[in-house]
């Protein structure tokens, strides 16, 4: 028994003995030593290593910071006449995001049902499905886009597919976390009536998760419009190609116009999403 108790004391408290305070009534309490100095020391060492690994240098920053102000000055002074050239790739980006988001979300819904521990009681399949979702989520969309461009050729199809993969990863994770928090009472009531898993899920669980699901999809759509602007960088259509080209030519006023358009579009989508959210939740 006594041995068990000793083992429960964390290593830190065994090295740095807690301060024992004796109260007036004779009881004594132990106050563990603060862990802050240790954490700060580890942090300090980590900063040193990281600074060496990345070649961190304040001098460069101070000497050349005026470059940044020049570029930002141009970006915040957008070239309005460039707008007609922004429009077609912008629409391409939005189309790509819509198709990618819808496909990703539709695939994510059934998969996430099998990835939630309160519906799927079979541990091995649960872990396998979750692992697949994790793997899909851990690769950035632009890497998918690069692969798909090579397989399907340049253009928005590769971009849509990349966005679909990315969306699937995010939405499936958020959704199975949501499913695990729902009220299982109605589900059990349905099964006690003799309904099978699918029927009970359809009538008892789906109404509980659908608002969350649509909320996640909308959030993801906004994220995708923002992110898909960079997919063109590897040739997957949309605005990225244009940004790359204009930065290469140092036409920062044009870049400013592109960014302004993205900003307006994202803001509009945000407003529309808020409106839809207020309707469904």
Which chain residues interact with other proteins by CB under 8 A? 46-47, 49-51, 53-57, 60-61, 64-65, 67-68, 71-72, 75, 91-92, 94-96, 98-99, 102-103, 134-135, 137-140, 142-143, 146-147, 150-157, 160, 226-227, 229-230, 233-234, 243-244, 247, 255, 259, 262-263, 266
Contact 89, 239 (CB under 8 A): yes
Supply the minimum distance, in Å, between the C-beta of residue 50 and other proteins. 4
CB closer to other proteins out of 179 and 258: 258
* DSSP assignment string, 7-46: HHS-HHHHHSPPEEEE-TTS-EEEEPPPSHHHHHHHHHHH
Supply the minimum distance, in Å, between the C-beta of residue 49 and other proteins. 7
Tokens of 128: 């396998």
Supply the minimum distance, in Å, between the C-beta of residue 66 and other proteins. 9
Contact 201, 118 (CB under 8 A): no
CB closer to other proteins out of 80 and 263: 263
* DSSP assignment string, 54-101: HT--HHHHHHHHHHHHHHHHHHTS--GGGHHHHHHHHHHHHHHHHHHH
Which one, of 72, 100, 51, 55, lies nearest residue 225 by Cα?
Answer: 100
Question: What own/partner pairs with CB < 8 Å and gap ≥ 24 does 152-155 have?
Answer: 154/235, 154/236, 154/237, 155/235, 155/236, 155/237
Supply the minimum distance, in Å, between the C-beta of residue 26 and other proteins. 27
Supply the minimum distance, in Å, between the C-beta of residue 43 and other proteins. 8
Supply the minimum distance, in Å, between the C-beta of residue 89 and other proteins. 10
Q: Residue 231 gets which letter from DSSP? A: G
Q: Please give the Cα distance from 278 to 270 (Å, whole number).
A: 12
CB closer to other proteins out of 57 and 188: 57
CB closer to other proteins out of 25 and 66: 66
């Amino acid at each position: 028994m006594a041995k068990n108790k000793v083992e429960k004391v964390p290593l830190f408290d065994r090295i740095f003995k807690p301060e024992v305070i004796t109260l007036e009534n004779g009881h004594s309490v132990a106050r563990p030593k603060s862990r802050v100095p240790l954490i700060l020391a580890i942090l300090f060492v980590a900063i040193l290593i990281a600074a060496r690994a990345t070649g961190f240098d304040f001098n460069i920053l101070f000497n050349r910071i005026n470059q940044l102000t020049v570029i930002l000055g141009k970006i915040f002074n957008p070239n309005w006449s460039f707008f007609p050239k922004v429009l077609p790739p912008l629409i391409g980006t939005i189309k790509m995001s819509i198709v990618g988001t819808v496909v990703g979300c539709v695939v994510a819904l059934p998969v996430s049902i099998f990835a939630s521990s309160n519906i799927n009681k079979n541990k091995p399949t649960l872990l396998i499905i979750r692992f697949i979702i994790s793997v899909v989520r851990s690769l950035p969309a632009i890497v998918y886009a690069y692969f798909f461009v090579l397989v399907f050729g340049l253009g928005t199809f590769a971009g849509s597919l990349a966005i679909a993969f990315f969306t699937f990863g995010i939405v499936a994770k958020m959704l199975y976390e949501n499913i695990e928090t729902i009220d299982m009472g109605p589900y059990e009531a349905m099964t006690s009536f003799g309904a099978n898993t699918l029927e009970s899920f359809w009538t008892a669980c789906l109404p509980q998760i659908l608002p969350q699901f649509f909320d996640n999809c909308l959030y993801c759509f906004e994220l995708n419009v923002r992110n898909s602007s960079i997919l063109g960088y590897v040739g997957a259509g949309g605005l990225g190609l244009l940004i790359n080209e204009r930065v290469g030519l140092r036409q920062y006023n044009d870049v400013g116009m592109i960014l302004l358009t993205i900003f307006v579009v994202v803001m509009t989508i945000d407003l529309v999403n808020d409106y839809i959210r207020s309707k469904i939740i």
